[in-house]
Amino acid sequence: MKMTFLEAIKTGMDHEMKKNENVYILGEDVGPFGGCFGVTAGLFDKYGDKRVRDTPISEGAIVGCAVGSAATGLRPIAELMFGDFVTVAMDMIVNQAAKMRYMFGGKINLPLVIRMPIGAGVQASAQHSQSIEAWFTHVPGLKVVYPSTPEDALGLMMSSIEDDNPVIFFEHKLLYGMSTEVGDDIKPIPLGVAKVQREGTDVTVIATGKMVHNAIEASEKLAKEGISVEVIDPRTLYPLDKNTIFSSIEKTHKVLVITEEHKRGGYGGEISAMISEECFDDLDAPVVRVGALNVPMPYAPTLENVVIPNTQDIINGIKRMF
Amino acid sequence: MTIPNMNVIDMYKTMLKIRKFETKAMNFFAEGKIPGFVHLYIGEEAVATGVCANLNDDDYITSTHRGHGHILAKGGDLKFMMAELFGRATGYGKGKGGSMHIADATKGILGANGIVGAGHNISVGAALSAQYRGTKQVCVCFFGDASTNQGTFHESLNMASLWKLPVIFICENNLYGISIHQSRHQAIKDISERAVSYNMPGITVDGNDVFAVYDAAKEAIKRAREGNGPTLIECKTYRQRGHFEGDPGTYKPAPEQEEWVKKDPIPRVEKFILNKKILNESQLKDIQQEIDIQIEDAVEFANNSPYPSLDSVIEDVYSDMKEEVRVR
Ligand SMILES: Cc1ncc(C[n+]2csc(CCOP(=O)(O)OP(=O)(O)O)c2C)c(N)n1
Ligand SMILES: [Mg+2]
């Protein structure tokens, strides 16, 4: 069946809510309003206000409540309206959720999911457009998921809810409307398994989120020039499927890493450092990293376009290796 | 308190300026001329106007995502604001900020803000600065009802009261945080009650009555200037539009909307001005025309302004260096 990205996330949550009555949703305007982007629309009518809870504007309390209820037997899904607002709840994630299990000697489970819409391209400027993956991939104790297609969003959402660890679930806001075929056999997709989105032999492109689609577009253009590009979407940033990445590099010997984050300190840097460290002998060229400019996201569409990495940047980056 | 006629006329002009500016912005947004997020203040103009009429140029304000009214009332320039909404190089933020991030340091406007609750803390800092430097400046902190559920609200009231800082906390209780009615986001009706916990005066006024707001703010500002600490003023008002442009606001019951439109603050002032014979009908018309012209000038200025140069994207991140340009 055909499904939008947005419906896929909802369907994943719906399935898990049906299966387990301890799964519940909380967040700002997630109830009758259906969430700022409409992801929870209809779930309130189906499950009522006990399981789809509108909260005050209190991100610290939203995430804190998720942590406390996860520690005591529930499986919360917390929605932050924009990923950018997580700064207000950072202590609950970084010092509490991520570390509790370890500090308590492994004697506690924290099955919680925090959903965060991220990414630029809608002129929402500096405080509503960020790509903040690296803030979380840096913190031991968190799993980080970032799907790029409806099918993956659905299956990964199910796995995230079933996982006994805190999971950060990123959703690129420009992908919400994207609609593709989703198999009728709805089932979880395990965390930590990358997907080869397009097979190729000359160069490996590792892309996340919306950039996966830019990478596919670049690969189609380069195919016409005789360059065969393999596009890999890790789908989960942590755990990271190194095997799929490394076997591709053994074949292509060239790698470009593209993420929408600011290039400085982004998770793309971690991936490329890891490749340089562990696959040095397989490489024919230094790893190329592409990311956003290191500036806050500007408002004017003309400026925003300059800051966000695009398909041409990927093509240029690949050509530098030949 | 009796308010001098001059001030009444000025306040009328300010309210009208805000209304007409935003009505333009509303239409431009609908036409696709303004991108991003636009949160309108239509129906709430009396709050910013009544408060800011008591402020000096060098006093500070912090604002919110719904900031056009605060900024105009504090002396912000229509031209630079419109240019910013248009994403032009001549805008307040050189096209980098947009509607939610307009600031004017020369007027003490410490910025609209995209983060709910951020202004609370920043206002405390500005007030501390005034106290520290021994000036008589004050800082007015504007914020919405729903923002009072952020920890920052409680932290800020406590610290400001403890240190007797010259802050005036102005709560714009427009009954909603996006789709959530006040009765569904907090267990109290009068937010001014929260002042009790922090040992400061807390009062509630009709936020659609510009004179009531003016009087309450006057006293609180005096108190702050004299070193007697902060006040919390809750202004009951109503957002006539959706949360942002594009939100049809279907969660607002029609009778509630109608009731509040009847209490629209601008016709109320017009009636007052005519009843008290401060001005006659034709003088009011003149004012309206004068403001229409100012708005048209601002639109023309914005339209004729250049787009920001692409090179400018790497400027203004630091005071003393530019960011690298991406190697393409
Ligand atoms: C930290 C944070 N959380 C959530 C939001 C999203 N948001 C923007 S405005 C708003 C509602 C604010 O309500 P209120 O404070 O009453 O102000 P009003 O919009 O009514 O003027 C919300 C939830 C945000 N911008 N920042
Ligand atoms: Mg409100």
Residue A84 near ligand 1, beta carbon < 6 Å: no
How far does residue B66's CA lie from ligand 2's centre (Å)? 10
ipTM: 0.91
Dist. CA B115–CA B301, nearest whole Å: 30
B253 Cβ neighbours under 8 A, 6+ residues apart:
none
The pair of structure tokens assigned to B198 is 């922090």
Which helix (DSSP H) or strand (DSSP E) does residue A45 occupy?
A: helix A43-51
Which helix (DSSP H) or strand (DSSP E) does residue B41 occupy?
A: none
The predicted pLDDT at position B2 comes to 82
- Considering only alpha carbons, which residue of chain B is nearest residue A296? B317
Phi then psi for A229, rounded to 5 degrees?
Answer: -105, 130
Is there a contact between B157 and B234 (Cβ–Cβ < 8 Å)?
Answer: no
What strands lie across the sheet with B60-62, from one edge to the other? B60-62, B139-144, B167-173, B231-236, B202-206
Give percent above pLDDT 70 in chain B: 98
Q: Which amino acid is at A13?
A: M
Q: Select from B101, B116, B310 the Cβ nearest to the Cβ of A125.
A: B101
Averaged over B252-277, what is the pLDDT?
98
Phi then psi for A74, rounded to 5 degrees?
Answer: -95, 170
Nearest to residue B172, comparing CAs of B150, B147, B149, B189? B147
The predicted pLDDT at position A186 comes to 94
Q: How confident is the model at residue B326 (pLDDT cuts 50, 70, 90)?
A: low
Q: Which amino acid is at B155?
A: E
Q: Flag whether pLDDT at B323 surpasses 90.
A: no
Dist. CA A13–CA B96, nearest whole Å: 37
Which residue would you say has higher pLDDT here, A230 or B327?
A230
> Which tens digit of pLDDT belongs to each residue from A77-100?
999 999 999 999 999 999 999 999
B119 touches A: beta carbon within 8 Å: no
Q: How confident is the model at residue B185 (pLDDT cuts 50, 70, 90)?
A: very high
CA distances from A4 to A177, A181, A182, B109, B290 (A): 6, 9, 9, 42, 50
Q: How many CA atoms lie within 13 A of A189 on its CB side?
A: 24
Q: Flag whether pLDDT at B272 surpasses 90.
A: yes
Q: Flag whether pLDDT at B327 surpasses 60.
A: no
Nearest to residue B310, comparing CAs of A306, A93, A66? A306
Q: In a 3-state reduction of DSSP, which class is residue A230?
A: strand
Q: Say whether A195-319 and A2-181 share the same fold.
A: yes
Q: Flag whether pLDDT at B324 surpasses 80.
A: no
Is there a contact between B214 and B53 (Cβ–Cβ < 8 Å)?
Answer: yes
DSSP of A251-266: HH--EEEEEEEESTT-
CA distances from B8 to A170, B274, B287, B293 (A): 51, 12, 13, 21
Provide the mean pLDDT of chain B.
Answer: 96
Dist. CA B282–CA B16, nearest whole Å: 16
- For residue A152, how far is the Cα from the chain centroid? 11
B179 Cβ neighbours under 8 A, 6+ residues apart:
A29, A32, A33, B243, B251
Is CATH 3.30.930.10 the right assignment for the domain spanning A2-181? no
* Terminal C-alpha separation, chain A: 41
Per-residue pLDDT in tens (0 to 9) along chain A, 322 residues: 999 999 999 999 999 999 999 999 999 999 999 999 999 999 999 999 999 999 999 999 999 999 999 999 999 999 999 999 999 999 999 999 999 999 999 999 999 999 999 999 999 999 999 999 999 999 999 999 999 999 999 999 999 999 999 999 999 999 999 999 999 999 999 999 999 999 999 999 999 999 999 999 999 999 999 999 999 999 999 999 999 999 999 999 999 999 999 999 999 999 999 999 999 999 999 999 999 999 999 999 999 999 999 999 999 999 999 9
Q: CATH says A195-319 is which class?
A: alpha beta
CA distances from B75 to A237, B48, B56, B164, B290 (A): 48, 11, 10, 27, 17
> Which tens digit of pLDDT belongs to each residue from A114-139?
999 999 999 999 999 999 999 999 99
The predicted pLDDT at position B328 comes to 39
CB contact under 8 A, A85 and B310: no
DSSP of B108-165: TB----SSTTHHHHHHHHHHHHHHHHT----EEEEEESGGGGSHHHHHHHHHHHHTT-
Report, at the CATH architecture level, how domain B5-312 is classified.
3-Layer(aba) Sandwich (3.40)
Q: Which amino acid is at B57?
A: D
Q: How confident is the model at residue B321 (pLDDT cuts 50, 70, 90)?
A: confident
Averaged over B288-317, what is the pLDDT?
96
CB contact under 8 A, B98 and A122: no
Averaged over B49-74, what is the pLDDT?
98
Task: Show residues of chain B in contact with A84, CB under 8 Å.
Answer: 114-115
Is there a contact between A84 and A127 (Cβ–Cβ < 8 Å)?
Answer: yes
User: Which of A26, A36, A57 has most ligand 1 atoms within 8 Å of CB, for mutation?
Assistant: A57
Angle at B254 between CA B252 and CA B257, to 5 degrees: 70
Residue B45 near ligand 1, beta carbon < 6 Å: no
User: Which of B44, B178, B179, B236 has most ligand 1 atoms within 8 Å of CB, for mutation?
Assistant: B178
B177 touches A: beta carbon within 8 Å: yes
- In the set A128, A213, A253, A262, the catalytic residue is A128
Residue boundaries of the structural domains of chain A:
2-181, 195-319
CA distances from B145 to A32, A163, A303, B20, B154 (A): 20, 37, 34, 25, 13
Q: How confident is the model at residue B76 (pLDDT cuts 50, 70, 90)?
A: very high
Q: Quick one: CA torsion of A66, A71, A76, A81, rounded to 10 degrees?
A: 20
* Terminal C-alpha separation, chain B: 65
